[in-house]
Amino acid sequence: MIIRGLLKTSTADYPSKISAVVFTQGCNFHCPYCHNPRLVGPGVETLDQAEVLAFLKKRRGVLDGVVVSGGEPTIHNDLPGFVARVKDLGYPVKLDTNGSNPGVLALMLDRGLLDYVALDLKADPGGYPEVMADPRLSANVPLSLKILQDGLVPAEFRTTCAAPFIDERSIKCIAEAAAGDKTLYLQQYRPESVLNPGFMGLHPDQPEEGDLEKFRRIAESHLPCRIRNYQRTPGD
């Protein structure tokens, strides 16, 4: 597994826990507004797994959990093995995923390797724009969504409200697909360091704070919904 970054202490990534965040390199989606662009393609500087595990071992008793994020962690075949070693250190583990690999998600849940999952819903789960993902991959998102809806492991759903992909119609579709007792978090898009330079400026229809509140009200007829204004990168 290629590890690109390590956030040694976070109070915002794992609910109710002080956690470390391990960032993997590479992603099979190419969302143009991605705020971690240096994690999408091949990386130059990487961290050794043994060093990361040694750090986590040293921090037992200080940290309450570990988050594996990215990029997209499930593209790495040795993800389950790495997480198993983290679990052996006594940590609960949270996975951040785009939902493209439901088989990996199901396997890790069946093996008891995950204690919390955050699933990013980029657009209407019924069909992502091809600029984001190969349709064959985005078609897997509803399967991952169903696994989490049916599972007993705590989970949350997240949507970054970036135009032109998110509007009242798409929020309604997302909320209908994710309906249940899991919470959907709406995140404000930041036009700063993004994957596609064309998205550095604000789209004329970019949702603003008032729009996010409108989206929240639309979604709340189907599931709990909150607005979250926190995004971070490996260097934060």
| DSSP labels, 108-126 | HHHTT--SEEEEE--S-TT
- 61-74 average pLDDT score: 96
The tens digit of pLDDT for each residue in 161-205 reads 988 899 999 999 999 999 999 999 999 887 767 777 777 666 667
Q: Which residues of 124-161 are buried (b: 16+ CB within 10 A; e: fewer)?
A: bbeebeeebbeeebbebbbbbbebbbebeebbbbbbbb
Q: How far apart are CA 120 and CA 144, in angstroms?
A: 10
- 87-96 average pLDDT score: 98
Could you tell me the two tokens for 126? 């019924």
Considering 53-67, 123-137, 179-193, the range whose residues carry the highest mean pLDDT is 53-67
Banded pLDDT at 235 (limits 50, 70, 90)? very low
Pairing of strands 116-120, 155-161: parallel
Report the pLDDT value the prediction gives residue 229, as an integer from 0 to 100: 75
Banded pLDDT at 225 (limits 50, 70, 90)? very high
Q: Give percent above pLDDT 90 in the chain.
A: 73
Q: Assess contact for 17 and 37: CB atoms under 8 A.
A: no
Position 43 pLDDT exceeds 80: no
Q: How far apart are CA 27 and CA 134, in angstroms?
A: 12
* Comparison of pLDDT for 125 and 203, the residue scoring more: 125
The dihedral over CA atoms of 23, 25, 27, 31, expressed in degrees to the nearest 10, equals 70
Report the pLDDT value the prediction gives residue 196, as an integer from 0 to 100: 73
Report the pLDDT value the prediction gives residue 203, as an integer from 0 to 100: 65
Q: Any bridge partners for residue 231, and if so which?
A: none
Q: Give percent above pLDDT 70 in the chain.
A: 92
Could you tell me the two tokens for 152? 């007993």
Report the pLDDT value the prediction gives residue 155, as an integer from 0 to 100: 98
**All structural domains of the chain:** 3-228 (3.20.20.70)
**What is this structure's pTM?**
0.93
Report the pLDDT value the prediction gives residue 234, as an integer from 0 to 100: 55
Cis bond leading into 164, ω under 30°? Answer: yes
Q: Which of 157, 146, 164, 154 lies closest to 186 in space, CA to CA? A: 157
CA distances (Å), origin 213, targets 65, 121, 141, 187, 228: 31, 18, 25, 11, 11
* Comparison of pLDDT for 40 and 54, the residue scoring more: 54
Report the pLDDT value the prediction gives residue 19, as an integer from 0 to 100: 98
Position 231 pLDDT exceeds 60: no
Instruction: Let me know if 172 is exposed, middle or buried by CB neighbors in 10 A (0-12, 13-18, 19+).
Output: middle
